[in-house]
């Protein structure tokens, strides 16, 4: 029998029950539900809304229920409508009428809002830890590759020389922004909806500041209608998750290309790649492909939340029960992707020779050749045009800017001298880019130091 049976004359149709029920997925929030209930019971006791002894009895038994679920001694009853009903029924089963007092001055509407905020707060903490681990690995890889020259790309065409360290640090910036987005949204989320009750708060003299303190919220929400109907935090955080996935899909895409024979910039560790059932030569970058695929799924979760909330009249509507599966799916997948990507990155071998060779062949020092002419007095556009003609000549004659003789150079402009070879040297081209944000080894070292400080400050 449902807890709300009083008003009803008929048993619930089993199809309605199955359709309505959320226990199959919201059981994932049992810890948060019990935590919220314990805080509520403490407050009820403290405010004299229920007897002190009854409050203590409820709290003790809630703790027992928590341990029993955790240790597999208590199974979820799939006939319960949701996790909130299940815990409350179990409590009443165990301690009788006292258990029935827990739901005083509370509704499942504020209860589920609390649970979800607590749940997301826990998940975000784990995701931030994973992002920090990822940044640490990227940072270490950067310190090993200050001088590793590789082609930088635009339009996937070799463009200008960078270093592998410079490349890694680009992703460090992205994942750093992801952390900041998560923290920012969490700050806004960390407000207590408990005490909003069904929608219009309560006539009991509850202490919402106390439950806020007990649950680690900054303060109670200031409007009970908003308290039970707000899911902005779910949307904001899932948007941040989607952005993390977008970043991971970009590095994944690069790793997929780089592990191909056409690029051959990296060699994935055997433990983090898979073979083909038919083609013996294959070593597939499945992990990165799955990450790329799963990013679509997390975007879908965000879209589900946005669409679910669209046009919903205040305050609570059952549509909102749909929030949980989207949130669970998004958090689970982001964690899984980070968890697998981190050791995969850590064990990847970077084929520095191949990167350098690709850099040598791509005319990526053409800009430096033009800049050379500019430094000799030519306007940039004229220098650009001459260099373009030289590149065309090189392509037609199977040469590179390095292998072109000084006589050939002089045919294009008398400004060319022997020092052109120095100017177009890849190492010099990288080392001269010392401007903040550039790939010069010392500049990247400064960046790495800043990030080390950032990580240390986060942990102090
Ligand atoms: N299972 C419900 C949910 O997830 C809990 C809130 C139910 N409230 C209600 N008024 N039916 O949204």
Task: For the chain, give the percent of residues with pLDDT over 70.
Answer: 99
Judge if 33 and 114 occupy the same domain. no
**Does 97 share its domain with 142?**
no
CATH of the domain at 70: 1.10.275.10
| Residue bearing the CA closest to ligand 1, atom 12 | 321
191 with 267, same domain?
Answer: yes
The verdict on residue 440 lying in a domain is yes
Q: What pLDDT, in 10s, does the model give residues 17-43?
A: 889 999 999 999 999 999 999 999 999
68 and 200 belong to one structural domain: no
320 touches ligand 1 (CB under 6 Å): yes
Question: Residue 289 and residue 211: Cα distance in Å, rounded?
Answer: 45
In a domain, 449, yes or no: yes
- Residue 420 shares a structural domain with residue 311: no
Is 211 domain-assigned?
Answer: no
The verdict on the CB of residue 23 being under 6 Å from ligand 1 is no
Q: What is the mean pLDDT of the chain?
A: 95
DSSP string, 180-239: HHHHHHHHHH--B-TT-TTTT--SS---HHHHHHHTT-SSB-S-HHHHHH--HHHHHHHH
pLDDT at 115 over 90: yes
How much distance in Å is there from the Cα of 27 to the middle of ligand 1? Answer: 13
pLDDT confidence band for 415 (50 / 70 / 90): very high
- Ligand 1 neighbourhood includes 231 CB (under 6 angstroms): no
Domain presence at residue 213: no
Q: How far is the CA of 83 from the centre of ligand 1 (A)?
A: 10
pLDDT at residue 282 above 80? no
How far apart, in whole angstroms, are the C-alpha atoms of residue 314 and residue 259?
52
- Say yes or no: CB of residue 112 within 6 Å of ligand 1: yes
For residues 32 and 125, membership in a common domain is answered with no
| CATH at residue 318 | 1.20.200.10
- What band does 401 get if pLDDT is binned at 50, 70 and 90? very high
Q: At which of 311, 333, 358 does a domain end?
A: 358
- Taking 80 as the threshold, does the pLDDT of residue 388 lie above it? yes
Q: Are 99 and 139 within one domain?
A: no
Choose one of 78, 104, 130: the last residue of a domain.
104
Residue 52: is its pLDDT beyond 80?
yes
Q: What is the band of 361 on the pLDDT scale with cuts at 50, 70, 90?
A: confident
Please confirm, yes or no, whether 276 is among the known catalytic residues. Answer: yes
Q: How far apart are CA 2 and CA 428, in angstroms?
A: 76
Q: Is the CB of 22 under 6 A from ligand 1?
A: yes
- Same-domain pairing of 24 and 118: no
- Mean pLDDT check: name the lowest of 57-66, 275-284, 285-294, 410-419: 275-284
pTM for this entry: 0.93
The one catalytic residue in 14, 155, 261, 460 is 155
**pLDDT tens digit sequence for 304-341:** 999 999 999 999 999 999 999 999 999 999 999 999 99
* Stretch 365-394: mean pLDDT: 95
CB of 83 sitting under 6 A from ligand 1: no
Measure the CA–CA gap between 366 and 190, rounded to whole angstroms.
53
Instruction: Identify whether residues 226 and 269 lie together within a single domain.
Output: yes
Confidence of residue 278 (pLDDT cuts 50, 70, 90): low
| Residue 407 included in any domain | yes
CB neighbours of 84 closer than 8 A, spacing ≥ 6?
33, 108, 111, 112, 115
User: Taking each helix axis from N to C terminus, what angle separates 286-309 and 323-347, rounded to the nearest 10 degrees?
Assistant: 160
Domain-terminating residue out of 358, 374, 407: 358
Among residues 252, 261, 276, 277, the one annotated as catalytic is 276
Three-state secondary structure readout of 285-352: CHHHHHHHHHHHHHHHHHHHHHHHHCCCCCCCCHHHHHHHHHHHHHHHHHHHHHHHHHHHHHHCEECH
Determine the average pLDDT of the residues in 364-389.
94
* Same-domain status, 287 and 372: no
**Residue 390, domain CATH:** 1.10.40.30
pLDDT in tens, 204-242: 999 999 999 999 999 999 999 999 999 999 999 999 999
- What pLDDT does residue 273 have? 81
- Residue 316 beta carbon below 6 angstroms from any ligand 1 atom: yes
Q: Is 308 in the pocket of ligand 1 (CB under 6 A)?
A: no
Distance 321 CA to ligand 1 centre (A): 6
pLDDT per residue as tens digits for the range 150-181: 999 999 999 999 999 999 999 999 999 999 99
Alpha carbon of 227 to ligand 1 centroid (Å): 14
pLDDT over 80 at 377, yes or no:
yes
DSSP letter at 259 equals T
To test the pocket of ligand 1, the residue of 78, 82, 320 to mutate (highest count of ligand atoms within 8 Å of its CB) is 82
pLDDT at 38: 98
In this structure, the answer to whether residues 158 and 289 fall within a common structural domain is yes
Helix (H) or strand (E) holding 154: strand 149-154
Q: Which domain holds residue 53?
A: 5-104
Q: Quick one: 183 and 88 in the same domain?
A: no
Whether the Cβ atoms of residue 245 and residue 341 lie closer than 8 Å to each other:
no
Residue 134 maps to a domain: yes
Q: Which atom of ligand 1 is nearest to the CA of 316?
A: 10
| Average confidence (pLDDT) over 365-374 | 93
On whether residue 233 sits in a domain, the answer given is yes
Let me know if residue 374 belongs to a domain: yes
Query: Which helix (H) or strand (E) is 389 found in, with range?
Result: helix 380-396
In the chain, the number of structural domains is 3
Q: Is the pLDDT of residue 10 over 70?
A: yes
Residues 6+ apart with CB under 8 A from 155: none
């Amino acid at each position: 029998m449902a807890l709300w049976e009083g008003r009803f004359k008929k048993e619930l149709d089993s199809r309605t029950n199955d359709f309505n029920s959320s226990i199959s997925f919201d059981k994932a929030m049992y810890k948060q539900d019990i935590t919220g209930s314990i805080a509520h019971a403490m407050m009820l006791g403290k405010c004299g809304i229920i007897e002190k002894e009854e409050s203590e009895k409820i709290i003790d038994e809630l703790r027992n229920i928590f341990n029993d679920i955790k240790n597999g001694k208590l199974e979820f009853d799939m006939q319960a409508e949701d996790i909130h009903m299940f815990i409350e029924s179990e409590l009443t089963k165990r301690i009788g009428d006292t258990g029935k007092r827990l739901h005083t001055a509370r509704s499942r509407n504020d209860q589920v809002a609390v649970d979800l905020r607590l749940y997301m707060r826990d998940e975000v903490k784990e995701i931030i830890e994973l992002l920090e681990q990822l940044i640490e690995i990227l940072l270490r890889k950067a310190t090993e590759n200050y001088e590793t020259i590789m082609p930088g790309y635009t339009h996937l065409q070799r463009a200008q020389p960078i270093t592998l360290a410079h490349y890694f640090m680009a992703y460090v910036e992205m994942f750093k922004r992801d952390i900041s987005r998560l923290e920012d949204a969490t700050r806004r989320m960390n407000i207590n909806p408990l005490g909003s009750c069904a929608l219009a708060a309560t006539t009991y003299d509850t202490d919402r500041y106390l439950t806020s303190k007990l649950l680690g919220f900054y303060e109670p929400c200031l409007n009970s209608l908003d308290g039970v109907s707000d899911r902005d935090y779910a949307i904001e955080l899932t948007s941040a998750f989607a952005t993390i996935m977008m970043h991971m899909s970009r590095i994944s895409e690069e790793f997929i290309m780089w592990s191909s024979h056409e690029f051959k910039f990296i060699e994935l560790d055997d433990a983090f790649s898979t073979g083909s059932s038919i083609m013996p030569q294959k070593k597939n970058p499945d992990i990165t492909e799955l990450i790329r695929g799963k990013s679509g799924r997390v975007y879908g979760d965000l879209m589900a939340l946005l669409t679910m909330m669209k046009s919903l009249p205040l305050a609570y509507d059952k549509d909102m029960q749909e929030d949980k599966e989207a949130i669970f799916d998004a958090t689970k997948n982001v964690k899984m992707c980070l968890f697998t990507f981190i050791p995969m990155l850590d064990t990847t071998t970077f084929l520095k020779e191949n990167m350098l060779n690709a850099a040598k062949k791509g005319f990526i020092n053409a800009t430096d050749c033009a800049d050379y002419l500019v430094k000799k007095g030519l306007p940039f556009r004229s220098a650009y045009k001459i260099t373009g003609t030289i590149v065309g000549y090189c392509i037609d004659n199977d040469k590179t800017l390095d292998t072109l003789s000084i006589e050939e150079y002089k045919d294009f402009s008398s400004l060319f001298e022997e020092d052109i070879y120095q100017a177009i040297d890849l190492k010099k081209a990288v080392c001269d880019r010392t401007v903040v944000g550039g790939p010069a080894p010392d500049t990247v070292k400064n960046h790495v130091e800043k990030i080390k400080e950032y990580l240390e400050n986060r942990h102090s």
